[in-house]
Structure 1
């Protein structure tokens, strides 16, 4: 089977700039998964596109969004791929784009299992057997496979592993890194529904009961020092930030690049705000991308 190699001559630092990725391959080999991953990487993705319309889409994106907007088009037997050399056409027609042909493949038995699990007929099956449709598709796609810049055999891969392969081949340092949002909130207003991790700061003394601090928020230095400067707060931060790092590493490995860390207190004004800011600061200090959102600040 083919090795999973990046296209020859690619500069990883420029991946995605002006890119045109044609996603093709066998039905059931993972074209939709690859397309969704490319979309998550910032590509403008068009699915089931007739080959003769690829040029129109590229020109439209060039005009409206600029040549730096990466584009991906999924073309396959559903559109009737009856041409000699798609790769040659792309090289001639798109001077503003670096064209890459990505071909996804898998063994027949795996394609059969996936197609049966999807409970959809093969587009070339007709009234025949599923294996006959697969065999016919291999004949139609043979020329494209031989000309592909990158062939990925998805036989041994699950969805997360395939997404990771696509990200490594077509992502940039900016698009494949983990983005963490640390959200402060008040339990009295409800827990954020999009939280991946949640921590409760109500174990810390509440600045609300300190007259000089009540009208301030966790964004003020005096409140932040009162909350973060406590021994128990430091113990929590020392233990919790590595947990976020560990989970984040796992998220990236599984193809998930966004994490929401919810930090709560009673009203979402003092403790959760101060601790969210400190957690985000410590995450940035270790090289992670972390922003803060204070959902309930100002509601009281």
Structure 2
């Protein structure tokens, strides 16, 4: 009897399916940094693996008797000939009940051009054209994968240490929450956040910028927050959108989505969006969603 139990335990260990993270995104956006970060956190990292071989890698990990419990795979345009197999591979992983997440690293055209020029290397897809031609071709190639990503990180304004900090926050903990949210205030005049899953527009509320005694302050100031939420429709909007986020969060959990970025915008990203972001973040946290607040444009003139 004891021998049988030992065999069963060994088979169970052998059949343990490793957790999988697929790292992809734009060339120059920080894939190598992301891979190195996960490697430092104890993940088994494979760079430039053809997508068709991802299920095979997971199967090999499952036979490692628990020695390879977490696998990170970097998929990029160097394996573009195999991108047609990516959908099949993802479907195969889903059928095998593999816990997989896709991390997509994004950056603006300006940031990517600057990075390629600084290292004096061509873009892998530019051919005889310009760097921007390669960037455009890569965006088209990766558009669908970006849409399927569980986590999109815009590295345009991040340095290496800030990117590592973001990834540490997402993957360092052993007991991960069901859903993590980033609530980001922003100014429309500075552009939409490219990594936003949901966008909230607060420009229907009167702008404290035009109140001289409030203009120097931000939405973190009590007087500004009170002014914003004393406007007609502000509290109702907060209540109804918080209820909508509760419904969306339930659906995300059901679908296995673990990360969401809610972007809250006003004209300059200093008053209304900041005040609304703070309130929405508290509502999400009260519903059991681990929440981080980022005020992207609050310090701009």
TM-score (ref. length: structure 1): 0.49
TM-score (ref. length: structure 2): 0.49
Higher CA-based Rg: 1
